[in-house]
A and B are shown apart, each in its own frame.
Chain A
Amino acid sequence: MREKLEEALFPPVVALLVALICGDLLIMSYGQSPATVYRLLLEGTWGNAYGFGQVLYKATTLTFTGLAVSIGIRAGLFNVGAESQLAAGGFLAGLLGLALSPSFPLALAIPACILAAAVGGGLVGAVPGYLKVRFGAHEVIVTIMLNFVVLALLNWIVAGHLHVPETLHTPEIRNGGIARLSSFIPAFHGSAANLTIVVALITTGLLWLHLFRSRRGYELRAVGLQPEVAEYGGVKVGSTLMRAMILSGAIAGLGGINYVLGYKGYYEEGFAGGAGFLGIAVALVGRNHPVGVVLAALFFATLSQGGLAIHALVPKQLVDVLQGVVILAVAMSVPEVRSALRKARKPVAA
């Protein structure tokens, strides 16, 4: 158990150190002092209730996309399509919200919209899953291409048919959405944090249960580690991959409710804003473990919100650079850490 924890924790720690160094260099290249910039970053995030609320809000979306990417990786699939799955989920939730009459009870409308978000993302996830299983098409390129296709399609629907004039969003859902956190804790006033965070935590728990305590999860991880052995063990590899990809898409799609139901009350062009891609970093730093994903989501949400706070001193694009650095550093340190730990440990039996 301790060894597993070491193997899981070392790479992210290494990656954060590397990112810190790169961050310092970039900040200095802009003629600023790293210490000042980092202090500003912390003050603008964890230092006040509004900033913290924004961190929670962003972390919520990132938890969904991070979980989505991580379940794919657990099954040996690299889902780079979380961005468009997230958008599709938000869109379908918004669309259903519009379709329901204002008199429809909120207690039913919200679960229905949440379900719609999962369906929207799941549908987009199903396409690369099917193409992979049926034709062997590489899911990475398919999901990337599908991002362009789905976003263009949504653009056509919204810009062409559903938008409020002069804007790029759909009309507001009239029977209300998910409650803001500020309605319980007034200090959060103004921040977008809302009860979607509870949905995110429940999803995290259920996913943990699914991955590590259920038969399907046992099979999914087996397929991800050694598909030929899984097949030997009676696992239907194709349908497991298909299921994983749909699940991955559905979870990413769920993330859409954070913005559409919890924040704005409508679907808007480009609301995903890179949260799907950032999910890759979240999953990798979180080492594809649900708990790790939540922590990594908080970290990247802090960076992302902090980017706004420091924008006066250093361009917020700094955060984009650090993202890439962190992913690269994690990817590079995982095999190193694993072999270093193996060397250090006495083998159990020769």
Chain B
Amino acid sequence: MTGSPIATGDRAPHVIRMEGIDKSFGGVRANRKASLEVSPREIHALVGENGAGKSTLMKILGGLQKPDSGTMQVNGRDVTGWTTSDAIAAGIGVVHQHFMLVPTLTVAENIILGMEPVSGGRIDYPKAIADVEALSRETGLAVSANAPVSSLSVGEAQRVEILKVLYRGATILVLDEPTAVLSPPEVKELWAVLRRLRDAGGTIVLITHRLDEVIEISDTITVMRGGETVDRLHTSDTSPAHIARAMVGRDVSLTSRAEAIALGAPVEIVPEPSSVGTFHPSDDMTSAIRVSDLVVLGAQNLRAVDGVTFSIRPGEILGIAGVEGNGQTELIEALAGLRPIESGLIRMGGHDVTRRNVSERRDAGLSHIPEDRHRRGLILDYSIADNLVLGLQDSYVQRGLLDGKRIAANAKEQIEAFDIRPPSAEIPARNLSGGNQQKVVIAREMGRPFSVLLASQPTRGVDVGAIEFIHSELRKARVDGKAILLVSAELNEVLALSDRIAVMYRGRMTRVMAASEVTEESLGEYMMGTRKDSAA
């Protein structure tokens, strides 16, 4: 054991001290006896797997939720169960994972919302704009005060979020998974801002599930698992392996790539041994899917996908990296038939499917794991059995009606094959955990004959065990000769699974590169648009 737990009797006065926090949501215990102690002027990492209870604890701290039991102190004052306004007044500023910005309002309006400068009963806009510009200069967070938030990039929106809490006089900054939407260079920039704020006297709590970030930026660490606080560490005298063990609750071999990826630990990318059981596509074989000059319109009729060309052979995984919002969603939806195509061509197995609808493309062998299972993938009030035939409902018709027996038999088979828990076909999908919901989607899409798979954020919001399972399913499908288009915000996931890799930036796709010729650094430059080799 390399880490030394921080003595609880530490004499430094704590800025934040939460003890014995319990919080349940409809029977699910999100926090049990959770605790957190943060000293002034430190960057404190709150780490844990998805569902460990980190966000809930921070929502309680920020006044958005009230604890069922437990006590909390801020700057030595008991503040148990306070409201959002109390928390803001006490200098706590939370930057949420999903941005809390009103897209139709301007940057300045978002920043002043709730504490508007007023003169004579009306909002003093000149003062508001001057204040925002001054704050922007002081912190080096560049924004334009009059721009509508809907026109901002994700990185810019995050700056507005940070300015918003600083405008409220926050001295304790809580950031929930702030890097999920940033490119590597933007992450570096964020770290610089956070260090500056700390050195100016601020305290920062950083929620993350990525080990590399913890090691790089934090001073101290609190580890949560299953709603409990399981460890407290000084970053300088611990190791990734120790943190990982605390997060997962067992020894984790960080050389196992799936686990390392799941924990965001730095991994060495070693191409899979390609000798045994690997499908060898011969060069003259036709591509399973070939996309040429695809143009797709997105919001405000802008070109979300702007002339993308690529092809994938059977037995190959093409990984697409890139900061979210650069056209990946629109690309996948256009390929699936869910979004009209402006121009370009999509061919599957030699057939033109550009004008085919969703179900015709499914019939042609296209499977699709959507990026957001709640928005696209599951009818949450339908049973597991009914969800397992979604998109295939045509083939379950018997004499004009749906064949309940075959639907049940299919459910039984898939639940077993994909280890869906609980193994009960009749319960609604809503009642499953995120990992099991994702397994239902994967069982449906991969448990039937298909030739091309669109896998968009296939492991988002699921636990380590499910990530391993999903990765092995994707590898198996590759070996079986399926063509897979993998889109993921987790750079490590793209690097570890793909045969070839491309980056999307502002609707365009970079040259498709062999996995062996890229590094995290080079991808980062493409993701920022600082490197723009033209598409091959």
Residue of B336, B376, B401 near A209 (CB, 8 A) is B401
From residue B381, how far is it (CB to closest CB) to chain A in Å? 5
Give the Cβ gap from B29 to chain A, nearest Cβ, in Å.
8
**A21 nearest CB across to chain B (Å):** 30
User: Contact at B357–A233, with CB atoms within 8 Å?
Assistant: no
* Interface 9-residue window, one of A10-18, A128-136, A210-218, A271-279: A210-218
Min CB distance A349 to B, Å, is 5
* Size of B's binding interface in residues, CB under 8 A: 39
- The contact string, 1 if C-beta is below 8 Å from chain B, for chain A 219-236, is 100100110111111101
CB of A161 within 8 Å of the partner chain: no
A212: nearest chain-B partner, CB-CB: B402
In the assembled complex, the CB of B180 is this many whole angstroms from the nearest CB of chain A, namely: 23
Hey, which chain B residues are within 8 Å of A213, CB to CB? 401-402, 404
A334-350: contact bitstring with B at CB < 8 Å (1 yes, 0 no)? 00000100110111111
Q: Which residues of B contact A215 (CB under 8 A)?
A: 393-394, 396-397, 401-402
Query: A233–B393 contact, CB under 8 A?
Result: yes
Known A234-B357, A234-B358; contact A348-B422, beta-carbon cutoff 8 A: yes
**Chain B residues in 8 Å Cβ range of A347:** 26-28, 431
Q: Which residues of A contact B394 (CB under 8 A)?
A: 215, 234
- Give the docked Cα–Cα distance between A230 and B358 (Å): 11
Q: In chain A, residues 193-252, which have Cβ atoms closer than 8 Å to a Cβ of chain B?
A: 209, 213-215, 218-219, 222, 225-226, 228-234, 236
Residue contact A233 to B422, C-beta cutoff 8 Å = no
- Enumerate A51-80 residues with CB–CB distance to B below 8 Å: none
Query: Is the CB–CB distance between A229 and B402 below 8 Å?
Result: no
Min CB distance A220 to B, Å, is 11
Contact B359 A229 (CB under 8 A): no
Q: Is B179 an interface residue (CB 8 A)?
A: no
- Are the C-beta atoms of A222 and B338 separated by less than 8 Å? no
- A226 CA / B378 CA spacing, docked (Å): 8
Residues from 8 to 46 in B contacting A, C-beta threshold 8 Å = 26-29
A346 contacts which chain B residues (CB < 8 A)? 27
> Could you tell me the distance between the alpha carbons of A342 and B376 in the complex, rounded to whole angstroms?
24
Least CB distance from A3 to B in Å reads 10
A350 to B52, CA, bound (A): 11
B391 at the interface (CB under 8 A from A): yes
Question: Assuming A219-B393, A228-B375, is B431 touching A236 (CB within 8 A)?
Answer: no
Chain B residues within 8 Å of A345, by CB = 27
Most chain B CB neighbours (cut-off 10 Å) among A219, A232, A339, A343: A232
Tell whether, in the assembled complex, residue A229 and residue B396 are in contact, meaning their CB atoms are under 8 Å apart.
no
* Min distance, Cβ B79 to any Cβ of chain A, angstroms: 27
Question: Which residue from B377, B379, B396, B401 sits with its C-beta under 8 Å from A225?
Answer: B379
CB closest residue in chain A, given B30: A350
Residues of chain A within 8 A (CB-CB) of B393 are 215, 218-219, 233-234
B400 within 8 A of partner (CB)? yes
- B426 → chain A closest CB, angstroms: 8
B contact residues around A230 at 8 Å (CB): 379
**Assembly CA distance A155 to B433 (angstroms):** 58
Q: B432 near A348 (CB under 8 angstroms)?
A: yes
Q: How far is the CB of A77 from chain B (nearest CB, A)?
A: 17
The residue that A214 contacts in the complex, of B29, B362, B400, B432, with Cβ under 8 A, is B400
Q: How far is the CB of B320 from chain A (nearest CB, A)?
A: 20
Nearest-Cβ distance from residue A339 to partner chain B, whole angstroms:
8
Give Cα A209–Cα B404 distance, bound, in whole angstroms.
Answer: 13
With A and B bound together, what is the CA distance between A341 and B401 in angstroms? 32
Enumerate B380-415 residues with CB–CB distance to A below 8 Å: 380-382, 386, 390-391, 393-394, 396-397, 400-402, 404
Contact B401 A231 (CB under 8 A): no
A236 with B357: CB separation less than 8 A: yes
Contacts A219-B393, A348-B427 known; A229 to B26 CB distance under 8 Å?
no
**Minimum CB distance partner of B336 in chain A:** A232
The 8 Å CB contact of A234, one of B27, B362, B402, is B362
Q: Say yes or no: is B436 at the interface (Cβ < 8 Å to chain A).
A: yes
Does B225 count as interface, using CB distance less than 8 angstroms?
A: no
Partner of B402 from A218, A222, A225 at Cβ < 8 Å:
A218
Which A267-314 residues have C-beta < 8 A from chain B? none
Q: Does B370 contact A (CB under 8 A)?
A: yes
The residues in A between 166 and 206 inclusive whose CB is less than 8 angstroms from any CB of B are none
* CA distance in complex: A230, B375 (Å): 10
Q: Is B475 an interface residue (CB 8 A)?
A: no
Contacts of B427 in A (CB 8 A): 348
Chain A positions within 8 Å of B431 at CB level: 347-349
Specify which chain A residues have a CB less than 8 angstroms from the CB of B359 in the assembled complex.
234
Q: B28: which A residues are within 8 A, CB to CB?
A: 347, 350
Chain B residues contacting A339 (CB-CB under 8 Å) are 26
CB distance from B534 to the nearest CB of A (A): 34
Kindly state the separation between the CA atoms of A345 and B431 in the bound complex, as whole angstroms.
11
- Beta-carbon contacts under 8 Å, B359-383 to A: 359, 362, 368, 370, 375-382
Given known A213-B401, A218-B386, contact A232–B26 (CB-CB < 8 A): no
- In the complex, which residues of chain A have a beta carbon less than 8 angstroms from the beta carbon of B460? none
Does chain A have a CB within 8 A of B421? yes
A62: shortest Cβ distance to chain B, in Å?
Answer: 27
B338 touches A231 (CB 8 A): yes
Give the distance to chain B from A159, nearest Cβ to Cβ, in Å. 45
A232 touches B377 (CB 8 A): yes
Chain B residue at smallest Cβ distance from A341: B26
Cβ contact within 8 Å between A229 and B379: yes
Complex: chain A residue closest to B391, CB-CB: A233
In the bound assembly, the distance between CA atoms of A215 and B393 in angstroms comes to 6
Chain A min CB distance to B399 (Å)? 11
Q: How far is the CA of A236 from the CA of B393 in the complex (A)?
A: 13
Residue pair B421, A349 in contact (C-beta under 8 Å): yes
Q: Per a CB cutoff under 8 Å, which of A218, A232, A349 touches B376?
A: A232
Residues from chain B with a CB closer than 8 A to the CB of A348 are 422, 424, 427, 431-432
| Least Cβ–Cβ distance between A9 and chain B, in angstroms | 17
Name the distance in Å between B210's Cβ and chain A's nearest Cβ.
24
User: In the complex, what's the smallest C-beta–C-beta distance from A249 to chain B, in angstroms?
Assistant: 23
Evaluate contact between A349 and B402: CB separation under 8 angstroms: no
User: With the chains together, A142 CA to B365 CA distance in Å?
Assistant: 41
Chain B residues whose CB sits within 8 angstroms of the CB of A233 once the complex forms: 358, 390-391, 393
A: residues with CB less than 8 A from B are 209, 213-215, 218-219, 222, 225-226, 228-234, 236, 339, 342-343, 345-350
Sorted nearest first, the 4 A-B pairs with minimum C-beta distance are A234-B359, A233-B390, A233-B391, A234-B358
Known: A215-B396, A233-B358. 20 other contacts (CB 8 A): A213-B401, A213-B404, A214-B401, A218-B386, A218-B393, A219-B393, A222-B382, A225-B381, A228-B375, A231-B358, A232-B338, A234-B391, A347-B27, A347-B28, A348-B427, A348-B431, A349-B422, A349-B431, A349-B433, A350-B29
CB<8 Å pairs between A and B, sample of 10: A214-B402, A215-B401, A225-B382, A229-B375, A229-B390, A231-B338, A347-B26, A347-B28, A349-B432, A350-B29
